[in-house]
Amino acid sequence: MLPSRTTFIAVSLLAGLGLFWAVGGGFSFSGAAGSADAPPCESAEVEKTVLHIFNRHPQYVPRSDNLVMIGLAEVREVEFRRHPEVQATANTRWCEALGRFSGGEVETVYWDLFATRNVLSMYGVRPCFGRFDPVHKDCSFARPPQR
């Protein structure tokens, strides 16, 4: 007896996902026992994302002064817990670092990292660039809320 077409399709999809995972595809089970928490503040991927947001989104800097963020230094996690203002199923990380900018300028940069509700290990980043952020110079939204 031949398997039904639906069974064949389901087995093929599962085999394809297994192969994708085995060769280092989009699945990541990092963190505590398969936790859905966002990656560490010090992650190279997180730094790349923070730099990308500043350098590619013109709302942060008037583009006439050619200011570019070139790196982060002294990155640290400020707090790690459930966010009290959202119905999160994973923890939020609040981070800070010294942002290094072209021309030798330095500014404290804050961001929070939160897992998205997604099977693929995805996370969101909400950075604040202090005096270079035209709307949120105090960066309160990117710092841990008071308990």
Higher pLDDT, 105 or 35: 105
Q: What is the structure's pLDDT at 42?
A: 95
Predicted TM-score (pTM) of this structure: 0.68
Q: What is the structure's pLDDT at 103?
A: 83
For residue 67 the two structure tokens come to 């200011």
Hey, which residues does 93 pair with through a beta bridge? 80, 113
For residue 128 the two structure tokens come to 């604040």
Spatial strand order in the sheet of 123-128: 69-81, 92-101, 106-115, 123-128
CB atoms near residue 75 (< 10 Å): 19
Q: How many CA atoms lie within 13 A of 89 on its CB side?
A: 7
pLDDT (tens digit, 9 = 90+) per residue, 112-129?
998 776 555 578 899 999
Judge residue 38's burial from the number of C-beta atoms within 10 Å of its C-beta, 0-12 exposed, 13-18 middle, 19 or more buried. buried
Alpha-carbon distance 138 to 126, whole Å?
Answer: 14
pLDDT (tens digit, 9 = 90+) per residue, 46-92?
999 999 999 988 777 655 567 889 999 999 999 998 876 666 667 88
